[in-house]
Copies of this chain bind each other. A is one copy, B any other.
Amino acid sequence: MKKGIAEVPGFKCGVGFGGIKKTEKKLNRPDTLVIVTERPADFSAVFTTNDVKAAPIKVSMEVKGKVSGIVANSGNANACTGERGIADAVEMAKLTSQLTGKGRFLVASTGVIGEPLPMDKVRRAIAEAVKNLGKAKGEEPARAIMTTDTFPKTAFKEADGFVVGGITKGAGMIDPSMATMLAFIGTDAKVEPELLDRALKEANEESFNAITVDGDMSTNDCVFLLSTGLGRDIGKEEYSYFVEVLKEVMKSLAYQIVKDGEGATKVARIKVLGARNKEQARRVARKIALSPLVKTALFGCDPNWGRIIAAAGAAREGIVEEKTELKIGKYLLFKGGRVEYREEEVSQYMKNSEEIEIEVNLNLGSESFTYLTCDLTYDYVRINAEYRT
């Protein structure tokens, strides 16, 4: 069994079948998730920076102090739903408090934008999830928040004196860009709130903020990190160790989102090194990662270095063509200019790799940044051109 947030000491999960979206019902997949902590938990959160924020985001942004858990639904994003949406999100959190006899809950939704929540179904599903608290283990909580995802996404890390476990969802509308995707992470480590905030932001920059599927930023992105404090005490001295563990879990979750990118057949790891500073590296990597011409070339297993160099230059971060080096896998394709290589060999490497390594050395400094992206395929177009159902 793959472990996730339910395996973190002090966390219990329950799921419900509300039939919020017809297709979820067909798949026999739960659409509602309640996560409860044994005792009130400190938490940290990062939210989408989209100007248009879904109702649950607005409601969760107001939560201060400790929380008793999270309530979430899939199939309906409760976004662009006005005052009624806010009232519905508030009710989801309150109902979960009442039924569990606990304190405040964070709330999250994911799915179609612009439809009002079918609250009868949601209420029924929350009641069911609460009744079943403790029964949803491993991948089951992650299944309850899937939409176009094709597999549930969990990560778990047993560290020295504490554990970190989490779940996430996402496959399209992925370009967190200073916000993040829907992800719920728990730890039993005892971390004071300010350190928890710092750790989440730091880990986030290299995980959820370093991926893209389609450059589209969601109205519902959020990451919640809850700490029950049942495990080891994390002070300033243990901080960097804690962040490393958290990063590992969050990077694993972020990787799974890209791997499950809508229609994707390949993951590409775009590493930009030799940059003057991290921001330069990040921007160049991001521009390459977003380029539809690079993404279609990945799909075609075409080592089209010209498109990669053109995308890097389009970032307008002052790269110097004459200094730039480019490798795909172990193959050097460009070193201040075209170099000789056997194209068939590189194409074969791309065909045989589920994960393609692209390394761009700017030779301007010593900073680096790695961005994850996926290929752009017929299936991405099919999935997103089909009429909403």
Give the residues in chain B near A312, CB-CB below 8 Å.
51-52
Which of A28-36, A101-109, A247-255, A300-308 lies on the face that meets chain B? A300-308
Q: Are B81 and A381 in contact (CB under 8 A)?
A: no
Question: In the complex, are the beta carbons of B338 and A114 less than 8 A apart?
Answer: yes
A 60-103 binary contact with B (CB < 8 Å = 1; else 0)? 00000000000000000101111000000000000000000000
Answer whether A313 and B384 are a contact pair too, CB < 8 Å, given A81-B338, A82-B336: no
Contact with A292, one of B50, B218, B384 (Cβ below 8 angstroms): B384
> Quick check: is A22 within 8 A (CB to CB) of the other chain?
no
Is the beta-carbon distance between A380 and B313 smaller than 8 angstroms?
Answer: no
Contacts of A81 in B (CB 8 A): 337-338
A214 and B388 form a contact (CB under 8 A):
no
Residues from chain B with a CB closer than 8 A to the CB of A377 are: 381, 385
Which of B173, B296, B309 interacts with A381 by CB under 8 Å?
B296
Closest to A172 in B: B293
Task: Judge whether A386 is part of the interface by a CB distance below 8 angstroms.
Answer: yes
Determine the chain B residues whose CB is within 8 A of the CB of A292 once the complex forms: 214-216, 292, 376, 380, 384
Q: A217 is contacted by which of B214, B304, B314 (Cβ under 8 Å)?
A: B314
Residue count of chain A within 8 Å CB distance of chain B: 69
**Cα-based distance from A381 to B334 in the complex (angstroms):** 25
Interface residues of A in 307-357 (CB under 8 A from B): 307, 309-322, 334, 336-338, 347
Q: Is the CB of A50 within 8 A of B316?
A: yes
Would you give the shortest CB distance from A245 to chain B, in whole angstroms?
A: 32
Question: Is B310 touching A219 in the complex (CB atoms < 8 A)?
Answer: yes
A322 to chain B, nearest CB (A): 8
What is the CA–CA distance of A348 and B41 in the complex, to the nearest angstrom? 52
Q: Pick from B53, B290, B334: contact of A80, CB below 8 A.
A: B334
In the bound complex, residues from chain B placing their C-beta under 8 Å from that of A315 are 51
A114 to B305, CA, bound (A): 8
With a 10 A CB-CB cut-off, give which of A216, A310, A322 has the most chain B CB atoms.
Answer: A310
A384: chain B residues within 8 A (beta carbon) = 292-293, 296-297, 300
Contact pick for A385, options B177, B299, B317, CB 8 Å: B299
Q: Is the pair A52, B321 in contact by a Cβ cutoff of 8 Å?
A: yes
State A249–B387 Cα separation when bound (angstroms). 37
Q: Quick check: B313 and A50 within 8 Å, CB to CB? A: yes
User: Within A358-389, which residues are at the interface with B (CB < 8 Å)?
Assistant: 376-378, 380-382, 384-388
A291 within 8 Å of B by Cβ?
yes
With A82-B336, A114-B306, A215-B291 given, name 8 new contacts (CB 8 A): A51-B314, A51-B319, A52-B312, A81-B338, A114-B338, A296-B385, A299-B381, A378-B382
